[in-house]
Each structure stands twice: as structure tokens, then as C-alpha cells.
Structure 1
Amino acid sequence: MQQRTSRHQWRDPKRYMWLYGLAIPLSPFLAWLLVRYLHLGVFWATGAIMIAVICPLVDRFTRLDTSNPPEEVMHDLENDKYYRRCTYVYLPLQYAGLVFGCWMWVSQPMGWAEHLASAATLGIVGGVGINAAHEMGHKRTKIERRLAKVALAQSFYGHFYVEHNFGHHIRVATPEDPATARFGESYWKFLPRSVVGSLTSAWKYEKARLARRGVSMWNPKRNNILSAWLMSVFLYAALIAAFGWQIAPWLVVQAVMAIMFLEGANYLEHYGLLRRKRDDGKYVRVAPEHSWNSNHVCSNLFLYNLQRHSDHHANPMRRYQTLRSMGDAPQLPAGYAVLIILALFPPLWRRVIDPKLLEHYDYDLSRINMDPDKVDALVARYGQPSNPVTGR
């Protein structure tokens, strides 16, 4: 009889490594120290440097992590409260960094370029904060759902709380999902489509939910979008009252950068992937093959295993520490940090990712979610699909 592996016999080798991710919300403080003692203004961008330089270098020179927890320990690992506390502690550090950043804008000698660099650091903190909100917003506990809204307040992206759970996860890897990028669609075309589409979709879902309960759409206590937006309004008003109107433009800049970071992740997570339709016209159930997977260590530690996105969509209630590497999912050639930067340059993105997408679908365009505006060009280059839009 095979002996069952117990929680006491198996130890998570990454258990304390998840704390490394707290370097991101601490980056505004580190930026101030580096500038003060090294006298180089470039270090105001310390948060961006961590994500765009240090993290990719660590990923490049470390082995891919394809290990998964044994099935026997999954229940205990899922219920180990240490891991959720790792996400909880992100929030006070996130807002301490935001307040400290506002203080730096008004007290430190900065030119516009240094203000922009500092805003980039805070934007990365807010963008990763959206990811922390993503982790907590999927859970059933009231405290985690409330904290998800708090994490989103810095970036003024509270509607993500509604749209991601009730829109994106239902329509992912279909032409109807605004947060699923299409083959041939650049990041710069995807960005406004995802932002506007997600907002309108979230409003529609929240309106329908409240209508079923007989509640007015304009009730700020019951409307999850309005309540989240009000948090942002009060937050920004308090910061401006404390530090002056001169910080207002930079609050907007850091929020825009946080949103661009989030949408960069959205862009690459399902690029070109398509769920086929069944005979009854409905889409097949979401499977690991409908999300790109990445096993790069540093990026996953900073993003709470977000890159194990294939398992996340197949099992959205799983906590980050139990997400598995899915070998049958399409694999990204690098971590999110590198690929989000690559996405800013469409020719480079297409050169690296398009061949992998085509290989994943055996060069059958009928199975790919294509940009409707690029169908003719893609067909001319790669061949005729049976139905280029639906993949049927």
C-alpha cells in the first residue's frame, strides 16, 4: 500500500521566497536611499528597474521551475494561512510607498524626468498591487474581497474587481472577451479596446446583478464599481490635501502606468488563443491550453504565480501557492517582465511570439483567435482558415 505524503513530510521550497515580492512595494524607499547616497537620479525608477532589468536577469540565469506540489498536500497547502498573509502585507507597504512617493515629489529636488521616473516606480507598485487584488478578489472570504478593492484604489481601476471575475473568466479566449488579445493585434490597439471594453462590460454585469436584487445602480454601498471608485476619489483627495495640487498630475501618471502594466499582462496571457465552439454554439470549457504558461522563477515570485495562468483559468479558485505548471499549455519563452516590454514594440513581439502561436495550432488559422482587421493579411501570409473569426 502506497504511503500518503503528509504536510509534515513535504516542505514548500519556495515558502519564504514569496516574501521577495515585497521588494516591489518597498522600492520607493529604496529609490530614495539610492538617490541620496549614490547621487544618481536614474534610481528614482528603482521599481521599474527591478521589474525590467533585475527580474529578467534573474530569470535568465536560473532554471525554469516546473515542479508542482504533490496532490496529497494540496488541501493543507491551500489552507495554510501564511500564504494569504504574504498578500495581506503587500497592502500596507503599497500605501506607505505611495504616501512616501508623494512626499518625495514635493520635497526632493527633481526635474520632470525624475518625477516621471518616480511615477514609474509607483506605477509598478500599483500594477503589482492590481495583481495582489487579482489574487484576493477570486477568494470567497469577505476580508480578501474588501482588500482587493483597497489594492485597486491606487490605480483607479476598481471595475477590474467585477469584470475580471464575472466577464473575463467566462469569456476568456473568445472574440467576445475584451481582455483576450487577438493574433495580429498590437498591444497599442489592444490597450484601448481592453480598457474601454472591460469598463463597459463591468458596468453591464454590475447593473444586471443589482437589478436582480432590486437595488439601484447608483447605490454606492451596494454597487461594487462605485464603491471602488469612491475609494480612489477619497484616496486621491486626501493625498492632494496633504501634499498639494502639484502631485495631481503625477498621481494620474502613476495610475496610467499601473494600468498599462496590467494590460500588458492581459495582452500576453491569452494572445491568439481560442476556445472552439461546440455543436450547440457554446464555447468549450476553459482548459489549460487556452492560456499561456511561464515557469520563470523570479517573475512568478514577484507576481504570486500569475504566470501559471493556465492552471489559474482552469481552476480559478486555487490559491497562488498551489497553482501548477501545465506542460500541455502553450509556453512563453520568457517571463512577463520581458514580454510586456517586448509587446511595446509590435514587430519584435510578432517575431518572437507569432511563430510559437502558429506552432501551437499546427499553422491552422481556423483554430486561432484573429484580429478581424488583419484576417486578409494573415490569410495571405499563412493560408486560408475554414472560418477565421470563430475557428469553427
Structure 2
Amino acid sequence: MAALVYTEPDGRLATWRDRKRYLWLLALIPSSATFIAVGLVTATGWNVFWWTGPLIAFALIPVIDILAGEDGKNPPDEVIDELENDRFYRWCTYAYLPLQYTAFFLSCYIWARWDLSVLSNIGLAVTIGVTAGIGINTAHELGHKKESVERWLSKIVLAQSAYGHFYLEHNRGHHVRVSTPEDPATSRFGETLYGFWPRSVGGGLKSAWHLEKTRFERLGTTHWSIKNDVLNAWLMSVVLFGVALAVFGIGIAPYLVIQAFIGFSLLEAINYLEHYGLLRQKTASGRYERCTPAHSWNSDRICTNVFLYHLQRHSDHHANPTRRYQALRSMEEAPQLPSGYASMIMLATVPPLWRKVMDDRVLEHYRGDITQVNIAPKKRAKILAAYGVNA
């Protein structure tokens, strides 16, 4: 990529290069986790490497995050349009799909034909589930774009985790209701990951269906149609799993379920991190204030940002949903997580540790005013009392 030329505030011409340009190819490693697992098991004979997916996501990446530190570099505003139009970055996301589905069918073949223990088969299911889960982030990047081919590629990625309705609910639901009590994908102060998971899974599904039903009602026709974006996305999963079962046998069914569960649960764990306790206040008119950088938790850890296409620059994403990942900016006014998403997911699995680390940060963000926080309703009276406020 040639250096991009822009004008400094003082009128001087300057150049800028994306120093992460070729690092984005590292984001394809999760889609290759199954191939890495097969290679390591073949080379060593150690069945522990069937669990390569979680080892990469929750051991390797957090360590590199610590060693590599934070990025802190933003593209100048003047080069963003040119940066977004560089098609190299699009092909980095497109390349995820063939690797993802080659790995998926290879896993099906191994479950059906190789004589592995149940534990090894589960390890492989978790590994391909991590591929599916991080693939949902690829789908997230593609699903926000205006080009119809990218939106369809988003649905194809989501088919493996049977979470095609996310494409609809995230764009038309979450981005409208983010950081409000009405948003199932916004976690609340005092809510554990285990309490949030069923609320977000069920609420997201219900919201997606309601959004499409309402759309078809406005059109004056039935929502029981192949044009229904919930139904056609689910149909992709039915076809995918149907083909896999027909070719490789019913014996792989439990592992298909496990990998899909891991995939969408990884997404929901990330949802839990992104807006914990943050609340858009209501204006005098009774409507919520506009979403600002203050309503998303961010992290500028360079390793996790590369693996997740700058997802951790979440405030800029909510401000500019169609902006491509390579052009997203780190915002100083956004609240910051103490580490990258991979480390924070592990922290969230232990609720007392999560609250010890995050609750004070939420309060600090609101200058100690607990009444400004998005509190879990069932715990509201207890939490307010703990901070000396009457419910």
C-alpha cells in the first residue's frame, strides 16, 4: 500500500501508512484452528491439541496482548475514505469463509471416520466452535456493509453457529437500543454472565422475529416468506446441518450442537463485555439521548484488535456502523477495559472477580453516581441501598 497523503492542521503535507496492514491476515488463524489441531496431534500424538481453539483464544492471545501492549494509533480523518476503499482489507474478511467451511467439513469427517475418544471429539467440537464464534465477528463486519454480497456472506458465516437472526437483530435492534434497559444485548450492573446469557439469547431471537414480522405487516403481507431474513438465515443452517448429517451420519449430531453452542455463546460473552452497566439517560422529552462514545467499553490492545477486526474500538463502530474495520478509531472519551476481550471473557466467567474489577470502573465512569447506571432490575434495591440511595 502506498503512503496516503494528507494535510496537517498547519497546512503541511504529510504521509500515513497502516502499520497493521499485513497483521490483519493473522485474523485468519482462528479459521485455521482445526488444521493447526490436526497438524499438532499428528506431529506429537498429544490429544490435548484437539483443544487448540480455546488454547489460541484464551491462552495465546491474552499473553500476546500483554506483551504487545496497546495500539494508540488512529488514521488521520483525511485518509479514512481512501483507506476504506482499499479492497485488500475486504479480501482479508472474505478469506475467512473458505477456511471456516473447509475446517467445518474436515471436522465432520474426523468425527465420523476417525477413531477418537469422546473427549477428543468434544475438544475438536470446541475448537471448531471457536472458529464459528470468532466467525460471527467476521459476519458482524460484513453484515454492516451496504453491498448485498457482503450481507449474504454474513449470513453464510452465521449458518455454522445457527445464529443467522443475529444479522437482523444486531443491525436493527441492538444499534437502536444499545445501552438502554430495553436492549437484550446490553448487560446490566450486577448481572452475571450466566444471567445475561439466557436473557440475551432469548431476547435477541424474540426481537429479530418481531422486527421482521413488523416489517412485513407494514408491507401488507405475511411474514411466513423466504424473504423473511430470519427464516432464510435459519434455512441456511438447516441445509448446512442436513448436508453434514446426510454425508457423515447421525453420529456427528451431538458435536454439531456443541460447536454451534460454543459459537454463539462466545458472541454473547463478547456482548456482555461491551456495554456492561452503561446507560443512555433520558432527555426532558422522555427519549433516550443519542449514543455517544461514553456508552461502549473499549480496549486498544493491539493483538485482540487484530484478531477481531478492531471490534474493541466499539464506540467508533456505534458512531459509524458502516465504517470498515481498518478505519475505526480509538476514542479518548470512551471508557476503557483493563485488558482485551479474550482476557475479559475469562474474567467474566468468575462473577466475583468480574464485579471486583468492573463495578468500580462503572462507578468511576459515572463519577460515583449509582443512579446513572444501568442496574439489573432484580438487584436494583439492594445495589442502591449499598451505595446509600433509596430505591
Task: Give the structure-2-normalised TM-score.
Answer: 0.96
* CA-atom RMSD in angstroms: 1.1
- For 2:336 and 2:269, how far apart are their aligned partners in 1? 17
Residue in structure 2 matched with residue 258 of structure 1 by the alignment: 263
- Aligned partner (choices 7, 17, 20) of residue 11 of structure 1: 17
- For 1:126 and 1:138, how far apart are their aligned partners in 2? 18
Q: Residue type matched to 1:364 in 2?
A: D
Indicate yes or no: 2:95 matched with 1:116. no
Q: Deviations 1:33-87 (Å, cap 9, x if unpaired)?
A: 1011111111001111110000000001112111100111111001111111111
1:4–1:72 Cα contact (<8 Å) kept: no
Where do 1:282-293 residues align within 5 Å? 282-293=287-298
- For 1:118 and 1:238, how far apart are their aligned partners in 2? 19
Give 3-state SS (helix, strand or coil) of 2:35's partner. helix
Q: Residue type matched to 2:217 in 1?
A: A
Name stretches of at least 5 consecutive residues in structure 2 with no aligned partner: 1-9
Residue in structure 1 matched with residue 325 of structure 2 by the alignment: 320
- Aligned partner (choices 23, 34, 44) of residue 28 of structure 1: 34
Q: Residue type matched to 1:252 in 2?
A: V
- For 1:348 and 1:114, how far apart are their aligned partners in 2? 31
Runs (4+) off by over 3 Å: none
- For 2:253 and 2:243, how far apart are their aligned partners in 1? 11
Once the two structures are TM-superposed, the CA of residue 214 in structure 1 deviates from its matched residue by: 2.8
- For 1:203 and 1:172, how far apart are their aligned partners in 2? 18
Indicate yes or no: 2:216 matched with 1:218. no
Deviates more, 1:173-182 or 1:113-122: 113-122
Indicate yes or no: 2:240 matched with 1:231. no
Once the two structures are TM-superposed, the CA of residue 314 in structure 1 deviates from its matched residue by: 1.4
- For 2:295 and 2:363, how far apart are their aligned partners in 1? 14
- For 1:132 and 1:210, how far apart are their aligned partners in 2? 28
1:83–1:321 Cα contact (<8 Å) kept: yes
- Aligned partner (choices 359, 362, 369) of residue 364 of structure 2: 359
- For 1:342 and 1:67, how far apart are their aligned partners in 2? 27
Once the two structures are TM-superposed, the CA of residue 384 in structure 1 deviates from its matched residue by: 1.1
1:182–1:273 Cα contact (<8 Å) kept: yes
- For 1:362 and 1:383, how far apart are their aligned partners in 2? 15
Where do 1:127-206 residues align within 5 Å? 127-206=133-212
Residue in structure 1 matched with residue 315 of structure 2 by the alignment: 310
Once the two structures are TM-superposed, the CA of residue 19 in structure 1 deviates from its matched residue by: 0.2
- For 1:110 and 1:357, how far apart are their aligned partners in 2? 46
Once the two structures are TM-superposed, the CA of residue 4 in structure 1 deviates from its matched residue by: 4.3
Name stretches of at least 5 consecutive residues in structure 1 with no aligned partner: none
Question: What is the identity percentage for the equivalent residue pairs of Structure 1 and Structure 2?
Answer: 52
Once the two structures are TM-superposed, the CA of residue 162 in structure 1 deviates from its matched residue by: 0.7
Q: Residue type matched to 1:323 in 2?
A: L
Residue in structure 1 matched with residue 388 of structure 2 by the alignment: 383
Give 3-state SS (helix, strand or coil) of 2:68's partner. coil
| Number of residue pairs aligned between Structure 1 and Structure 2 | 382
Indicate yes or no: 2:106 matched with 1:100. yes
- Aligned partner (choices 343, 363, 381) of residue 348 of structure 2: 343
- For 2:173 and 2:87, how far apart are their aligned partners in 1? 28
Residue in structure 1 matched with residue 7 of structure 2 by the alignment: none
Q: Residue type matched to 1:195 in 2?
A: V
Residue in structure 2 matched with residue 247 of structure 1 by the alignment: 252
